[in-house]
Amino acid sequence: MLLQVVSASSNSSLLQPGFSLLNFDGHVFFFGQKGWPKRSCPTGVFLLDIKQDEFKMKPATFSKDSCYLPPLRYPALCTLRGNAESDDCQYIIHGGKTPNNDISDKAYVMSLVSKNSKKTMFQCIEKDLGGDVPEARYGHTINVVHSRGKSVSVIFGGRSYTPLAQRTTEKWNSVVDCLPSVFLVDFEFGCCTSYILPELQDGLAFHVSVARNDTVYILGGHSLQNNTRSPSLYKLKVDLPLGSPAVTCTILPGGISVSSAIVTQMSDTEFVLVGGYQSDSQKRLACNTIVLEDSKIEILERVGPDWTQDIKHCRVWFGYDMGKGSVLLGIPGANKQLISDAHYFYILRCKGAEDDKEEELTTEICSQTSTEDPGDSTPFEDSEEFCFSAEASSFDVDDTDTYNEDDEEDESETGYWITCSASCNIDINTWVPFYSTELNKPAMILCSSGTGHWVHAQCMDLSESMLLRLSEANVKYFCNEHVHLNKGLQTPKKVHLKKQPMKPLRKKTTMKLTTPTKKSFLRRLFE
């Protein structure tokens, strides 16, 4: 096993714990960026150009008939092929978290439409589901099984928010393990059926699942309720007769107590298990070989690589399957790099150079190698994994299309968790709903000052009735810092004018004929 250091370009800050990678025709595509997509790449899907031990990100586009796909973190992904002989594949994407920490219950099918040296186009379609639809979740797995000439998807595990009826103000945004139900989903017709199996007692998240033919093997996983990592190995067998499907579960010996582990495929029947955690604060540096033959599974110890001192001493690590016996690993850069959110990256090659050749991956793998957000769970959950699903290879893509992160707006200035004003006290780690209309993000209102900016309604001391009135009325709102400016624009400022002295009015002279005057006049007249 060979460990190789790789570096990321300057736009690597879009890479965040919980993202996913898709492999189409041997090319790797990134999905689940940090924050909402910007104008440089509105789809949020990038081609990863890995060249000379460095990877760059180049935007991909969607067809006109595609739906909107949010940048989901920790979704469940698996490949779906039309038939065994077809090289064309689609990806099923289910669940995950949005940048606002909303949890999705939607399912998408993503396929490659066209690709040339300068442009890649995908089609993304949202699938309507009916019946026993799985609740919104993340940290779960999805696999495709085949039985009697038919296929169906199996969804299991994950975490979700506490049900509304059980929420309290103090724990409004707390998460819980999903019920240990097994869901069979027919994406062709949108039908969902759930099964409760007595062998599955506890909900699991961030486990590993490997599927072959009509069987899914579930290994490890973390339970929030018990704060344990399951040592059990579960075997789910699915039968698809003409009538109702049947699902059975068997508990097998020889499991591994691990969470957030990574599986990569070496051959048609051989896999390698690396990474993960064996306790809240202890990484698992051991490696194992998993062999699937017929209807049995065998887990063997394997000599691991020569881990570097940085990997051995770091608190968390993350990674995902790159395909064909390679795994991408990463550790936080901490204070060792100028960029605070930078990471060190390694490629672990489980094969020798003589064995690294093209081969068809006929066994379905789904490894959910993400972990929780800090604050959602125990310390080990800070290590949400990266996931690369294709071998590192160079792409003949024009460098003029390279995504430039410097062209984008600062993500810290947008979103629900900004510092909206000098008196802002909204903190993503301590915030609890204040208004009845809030669920897992604070209510915001647009201030019309200048080009406009968003502020938290709670920071503006708005009552709920006033907030509703402003949202319904077609009026401009000005925040506390700009309301005085707005009043100044609407009403002229008071100006103290000096009073000018008034000129005295001329008195009108009227001739009054008094009695003496009349007498004198008559006297003159008759003299």
Please report, in range form, the residues annotated as the binding site for Zn(2+): 420, 424, 447, 453, 456, 459, 479, 482
SS (H, E, C) 450-480: CCCEEEECCCCCCCHHHHHHHHHCCCCCCCC
Phi first, then psi: what are they for 404, rounded to 5°? -115, 110
Distant-in-sequence contacts of 106-109, Cβ < 8 A, 24+ apart: 107/185, 107/187, 108/67, 108/69, 109/80, 109/187
> Distance (Å, rounded) from C-alpha 440 to C-alpha 100?
8
Query: Position of tokens 């009135």?
Result: 469
Please report, in range form, the residues annotated as the binding site: 420, 424, 447, 453, 456, 459, 479, 482
Buried b (16+ CB within 10 A) or exposed e, 32-51: bbbbebbeebebbbbbbbbe
Which of 48, 104, 50 lies closest to 77, judged by CA? 104
Which of 325, 321, 336, 332 lies closest to 302, judged by CA? 325
C-beta separation of 433 from 169 below 8 A: yes
> Distance (Å, rounded) from C-alpha 259 to C-alpha 278?
7
CA 79 to chain centre: 20
**DSSP state at residue 497:** P
C-beta separation of 46 from 122 below 8 A: no
The answer for residues whose C-beta is within 8 angstroms of residue 482's C-beta and 6 or more apart is: 447, 449, 450
Element (H, E) at 68: none
Query: Strand, coil or helix: what is 41?
Result: coil
